[in-house]
Amino acid sequence: MKFLRHWLTALFVLMFMAAPLHAAQYSEGKQYLRLSTPQPTSDPNKVEVVELFWYGCSHCFDLEPYIQQWLETKPNDVVFVRLPAIVGPGWELLAKAYYTADLLGVLDTMHPELFAAIHEKDQKIKDVDALRDFFVSHGVSADDFNNSFNSFAVSVKINNARLMTRRYVITGVPTVIVNGQFSTGGRQAGSNANIIKVVDYLVEQERAGMSAVAKTP
């Protein structure tokens, strides 16, 4: 009985010590940052996760498999949005590639192909002609590419991407924004696997907060 009592006491001490360690596993200012100005989300009834990326970024390419795996089990109350970051004129071409593919309905194919072309096949896509040739090589007609690439719809999306890149105040890509409140990335989380873990943690925190607000009379 005395041995059992000591064993239970030791177990409770370990549990007590472990709890705060788990709770402090991720903390603001370390594994994630709070945006100085909260940003609107696409659906106030769901938790939004925004990935800011650039096709020319090797770190974004390395994160992509983790994002794809996360999407396979993404909860229904989470909205995922990809946002091609535009931090300068040189980023706009590949941002337009993303929205052109989206408008043409070939994003599921072209998104991984663009990453692979740049980072695995070392293809140089540095102007509109090279980008057009790339789309044509994947079954898109030159006319369809031109019409979409130069469309008003793509122009509007590019302006929004430029605006939101600035409003999120990112210092690099990839950066993941959770519910317009918090940001994380490799610099904060430490690894691609940890980025996903921090995102899951923040999603749970935001979900709990939204639930508490909904229950408040």
Return the pLDDT at 213: 76
Low-confidence residues of the chain: pLDDT under 70: 1-24, 216-217
Place of tokens 């469309």: 151
Tell me, yes or no, if the pTM score tops 0.85: yes
How confident is the model over 148-178, as pLDDT tens digits? 999 999 999 999 999 999 999 999 999 999 9
Domains and CATH numbers, the chain: 28-85+172-217 (3.40.30.10), 88-169 (3.40.30.10)
The pLDDT score that the predictor gives to residue 145 is 98
Q: What pLDDT, on the 0 to 100 scale, is given for residue 181?
A: 98
Residue 151 main-chain phi, psi, to 5 deg? -75, 160
Residue 3: predicted pLDDT: 41
Omega into 217 within 30° of 0, i.e. cis? no
Q: For tokens 């009379």, what's the residue? A: 217
> Which pairing describes strands 175-178 and 47-53: parallel, antiparallel, or unpaired?
antiparallel
Tell me 32's DSSP state.
B
In the prediction, which pLDDT does 13 show?
36
Position 210 scores a pLDDT of 86
Res 10: pLDDT: 41
Q: Give the Cα separation of 64 and 128 in Å (integer).
A: 24
- The Cβ of residue 14 has, within 10 Å, a number of other Cβ atoms equal to 10
pLDDT of residue 15: 40
